Structure 1
Amino acid sequence: MEKPVIGIIGGKGKMGKYFTEFFERNGYSVIISDKQTKLTNRQVAKKADVVIISVPIDKTEEVIREVAPHIKKSGLLMDLTSFKVFPMEAMKKTKASYLGCHPLFGPTAPIEGQLAILCPGKGKKWFNWLKDLLAKNKVIVRELPAKKHDEFMAYIQALTHFSDIALVDALRKSKIPIQKFISYESPVYRLELDMIGRILNQDPNLYANIQIQNPSSSKVIKSFIKSCEELAKTIDQKNIKGNTDIFKKCAKYLDGFCKTAMEESDKLLSYLNLIPELPTTSDKPKGDIAVLGPKNTYSDMALKNYRPKIKPDYVSSIAEVFELIKKGKVKEGLVPIENSLTGSVRETLDELYHNNIWIEKVISQPIHLALVGIKKVPLSKIQIIYSHPQPLLQSRGFINKHIAKAARIPVASTVAALERVAREKREDSVAIASPFAAKIHGLTVIQDSIEDNKSNTTYFAVLKGNEKSQLKNVVNPPRREKCRKTSIAFNFDKDSPGSLYSVLQSFADNKVNMTKIESRPNSKIPGEYVFYIDFEGNINKPNVKKALGQIKRKVAKLKVLGCY
């Protein structure tokens, strides 16, 4: 079919502009109407093949009734509102095809990987056209009847916004300035405030309409208030058992999502440099070595190959591995430090530089990746790919060649990806993970060995604490006669021409062979860079000692990360 002309009523609004740009990027001609535009709503309705209503919720039904009689019989009428029952009821007046579209994202988000819900109305040809166009742009498309859509949105949107606004209103009524709360925040509380602040930074009329206009909202909100009252009653009565019973029922309802949520939020907290304190309910370690979990990740597989009998303490982030060692709760840790295809793991480098923890040994783990789903399906049917960012990078050649249209959704681990696919039970959703872990989760390998390089290998650092890793202590370092490689990191007081060259000259003058050099921004000091160097040689050897002594005098801080 020839490319239709797109007409957007409300084309000067935020979402109107967003979808104008979207259709133009895809090669469509777009006309718009809005306040003070040359074309009126009716003129756009008559000229366009596809008419999209992108106006405030409380104006949507009125505008649909205005333009519905003027749309071509061969055309399409659709809306972008957060509800679907009342606008689609109004659309029935048109002779054209019609459908409901709800983009579950705002005008600041890139469209790739976002979710859009399509509600069928009349006309399968246009429905498939829009579905295919969105999928081509890597949008995740879900289909729902209008009534079911509104029921879900009452919980997903109306209830969420209601509880967020009520929480801040309670803070406001305390008459304590928000800055006071922020100054004593926990990482999780800060994340919660960030999400609520994001909502309250937007149009209040939009969020009022989302809560008020949905016919299912009132019932859902009343149910929420009842739950609040039941929970509050346990507090008034100091009923610990009643309170914990509700807590346990809620945790049971969330089922496996609790673990996934913990991993994903830990990843986000780590990224934001808001590392939560470890639980203090018990000082006893759960294992002998801290390793990135959950069970059956590549980190876990590397540990089993390295020391199969050791008891692992599975944690959710690289930062937590370092924290456990630093606090003496475990003696060792295992973290990924480099991949043969994608390079160094930045979180590990940052933590090594800022903590008194030593690389004891580096081990290798071959990485073989599989495309995994609930059943075998043609690759053309796949819409969503879940995995840790590293496997997504390590198989991007396969993805770009065979399933380029699929949205790529990064998650905390390959196991989290498998759990998500197993939980969603959708044929069009897959994970990239190890074939071994896939079988354990009861999933099917759709295609094995999808890594771009069959020699793909990840290197893991075995970590220990209580080592003297500052250079001043390296004069009498731990006796490691067998270690052949050393890693160091350093930074300069200020940038000046020739500083790095001078450091490299010390390696050359002392006949020390470097194998790697890279730099990263200092995660603690904005504007400062840290240089990381690997070289051949034992820190006990005279030429290495001499080179490091010279370098120490040329830099602001020098740290030996390990000799192994």
Structure 2
Amino acid sequence: MNIYTLPKGTYSEKATKKFLEYIDGDYNIKYCNSIYDIFESVSNGGLGVVPIENSIEGSVSLTQDLLLQFKNIKILGELSLDIHHNLIGYDKDKIKIIISHPQALAQCRNYIKRHGWEVKAVESTAKAVKIVAESKDENLGAIGSKESAEYYNLKILDKNIEDYKNNKTRFILIGKNVKFKTLPKKYKVSIVFELKEDKPGALYHILKEFAERNINLTRIESRPSKKRLGTYIFYIDFEDSKEDLEEIIKSLKKHTTFINILGRYPVFD
């Protein structure tokens, strides 16, 4: 079986190797150029690992949208990694343009601004490092992981350049099913829904259902519904409880036009 992730040297690859410590069975890592490519590959079988949220820049919008689009794919597990960005290239004093993934550029915004560099976004941090390595252009620098610098035999010119040091990213394991060697005690549930009525108090009725059951919400976020301006869908993560999940969903359906369970899954350290 295959497990799909972003290119070698990305934090997604690192998260994938961590997940493989918990997964039962033999999986070959296959590298994709984009998050969309991972979802498309997983829809035909196997597993995938994608980023879903960063502690500094928030949710990865594309991952959120694709979880709704690919209805046959579920969240099967979650883990978090510390993220430490590095300036990678040839000569720091000659750099004029910095390239990296949009999230990495945003997480190092102040550092980049202090140096007055131009920025260019690419599909992944590893792609950025690869471009710098192949171009051999001293005017280019990349932001990426230590592993990507080692893989492409480039210098780390500056370490830990992220603006906030408590920088973590949540990664999710996606697919149709999986068997784990051991399971942690902590579980989460993720759902997405659209409110039935766009009026004051509509979201309150949803939150009330959780409050009355003493269920802790770990994340709530709105995204444009893409139907018309001003309409939204909501993503909620909550700690799994002893409550019957079917009963919870039934109570929420009274207030929604649709509701999908994106996954009921273990959270690994």
Q: Using structure 1 for the length normalisation, give the TM-score.
A: 0.43
Question: Of residues 184, 188, 194 in structure 2, which corresponds to 1:491?
Answer: 194
SS in 2 for 1:508: helix
How far apart in 2 are the matches of 1:415 and 1:545? 42
Question: Of residues 236, 239, 242 in structure 2, which corresponds to 1:533?
Answer: 236
Deviation digits for residues 436-490 of structure 1, max 9, x if unmatched?
Answer: 21122121111111112223111110012269xxxxxxxxxxxx99552211110
Q: CA deviation at 1:550?
A: 1.0
Q: CA deviation at 1:310?
A: 3.2
How far apart in 2 are the matches of 1:291 and 1:445? 24
Check if 1:317 corresponds to 2:34: yes
Q: CA deviation at 1:417?
A: 0.9
**Aligned match of 1:289:** 3
Letter of the aligned partner of 1:512 in structure 2? Answer: I
Based on CA coordinates, which of the two structures has the bigger radius of gyration? 1
Check if 1:400 corresponds to 2:123: no
Check if 1:391 corresponds to 2:94: no
How far apart in 2 are the matches of 1:504 and 1:438? 45
**Aligned match of 1:331:** 46
**Aligned match of 1:560:** 261
Q: Does the 8 A contact of 2:76 with 2:177 survive in 1?
A: no
User: Between the two proteins, what is the percent identity of the paired residues?
Assistant: 39
Letter of the aligned partner of 1:373 in structure 2? Answer: G
**Aligned match of 2:74:** 358
Q: CA deviation at 1:406?
A: 0.9
Q: CA deviation at 1:546?
A: 3.4
SS in 2 for 1:542: coil
Deviation digits for residues 324-344 of structure 1, max 9, x if unmatched?
Answer: 2222xx321111111111111
Unaligned runs of 5+ in 2: none
Q: Does the 8 A contact of 1:362 with 1:459 survive in 2?
A: yes
How far apart in 2 are the matches of 1:336 and 1:537? 21
Question: Of residues 17, 26, 45 in structure 2, which corresponds to 1:304?
Answer: 17
How far apart in 2 are the matches of 1:556 and 1:466? 27
**Aligned match of 1:416:** 127
Aligned residues: 255
Q: CA deviation at 1:321?
A: 1.8
Letter of the aligned partner of 1:320 in structure 2? Answer: D
Letter of the aligned partner of 2:77 in structure 1? Answer: K
Question: Of residues 476, 489, 511 in structure 1, which corresponds to 2:214?
Answer: 511
Letter of the aligned partner of 1:289 in structure 2? Answer: I
Q: Does the 8 A contact of 2:43 with 2:175 survive in 1?
A: no
How far apart in 2 are the matches of 1:466 and 1:289? 12
Q: Does the 8 A contact of 1:511 with 1:543 survive in 2?
A: no
SS in 1 for 2:53: strand
Question: Of residues 234, 246, 249 in structure 2, which corresponds to 1:548?
Answer: 249
Question: Of residues 326, 342, 349 in structure 1, which corresponds to 2:57?
Answer: 342
How far apart in 1 are the matches of 2:192 and 2:184? 22
RCO higher in structure (CA 8 A, sep ≥6): 2
Letter of the aligned partner of 2:3 in structure 1? Answer: I
Q: CA deviation at 1:551?
A: 0.7
Go from structure 1 to structure 2 and tell me whether the alpha carbon gap of 1:419 and 1:481 turns closer, same or farther (over 3 Å shift). closer
RMSD of aligned Cα (Å) = 2.2
SS in 1 for 2:147: helix
Deviation digits for residues 180-226 of structure 1, max 9, x if unmatched?
Answer: xxxxxxxxxxxxxxxxxxxxxxxxxxxxxxxxxxxxxxxxxxxxxxx
Q: What does 1:17-36 align with in structure 2 at a 5 Å threshold?
A: none
SS in 1 for 2:92: coil
How far apart in 1 are the matches of 2:98 and 2:252? 46
Unaligned runs of 5+ in 1: 1-286, 468-479
Deviation digits for residues 295-349 of structure 1, max 9, x if unmatched?
Answer: 221111111232167311211222222222222xx32111111111111111111
Q: CA deviation at 1:432?
A: 0.5
How far apart in 1 are the matches of 2:82 and 2:184? 28
Go from structure 1 to structure 2 and tell me whether the alpha carbon gap of 1:426 and 1:499 turns closer, same or farther (over 3 Å shift). same
Q: Using structure 2 for the length normalisation, give the TM-score.
A: 0.87
Q: Does the 8 A contact of 1:487 with 1:560 survive in 2?
A: yes
Q: Does the 8 A contact of 1:382 with 1:428 survive in 2?
A: yes
Letter of the aligned partner of 1:288 in structure 2? Answer: N
How far apart in 2 are the matches of 1:439 and 1:465? 34
Go from structure 1 to structure 2 and tell me whether the alpha carbon gap of 1:466 and 1:537 turns closer, same or farther (over 3 Å shift). closer
Q: CA deviation at 1:396?
A: 1.1
Letter of the aligned partner of 1:301 in structure 2? Answer: K
SS in 2 for 1:341: coil
Deviation digits for residues 514-558 of structure 1, max 9, x if unmatched?
Answer: 1211100124x34431101111124xx336543322111210111
Q: Does the 8 A contact of 1:519 with 1:531 survive in 2?
A: yes
How far apart in 2 are the matches of 1:522 and 1:319? 19
Letter of the aligned partner of 2:76 in structure 1? Answer: E
Q: Does the 8 A contact of 1:512 with 1:544 survive in 2?
A: no
How far apart in 1 are the matches of 2:232 and 2:177? 26
SS in 1 for 2:8: coil
Go from structure 1 to structure 2 and tell me whether the alpha carbon gap of 1:326 and 1:532 turns closer, same or farther (over 3 Å shift). same
Go from structure 1 to structure 2 and tell me whether the alpha carbon gap of 1:445 and 1:338 turns closer, same or farther (over 3 Å shift). same
SS in 2 for 1:398: helix
Q: Does the 8 A contact of 2:88 with 2:158 survive in 1?
A: yes
Q: CA deviation at 1:399?
A: 1.7
Deviation digits for residues 114-135 of structure 1, max 9, x if unmatched?
Answer: xxxxxxxxxxxxxxxxxxxxxx
Check if 1:425 corresponds to 2:136: yes
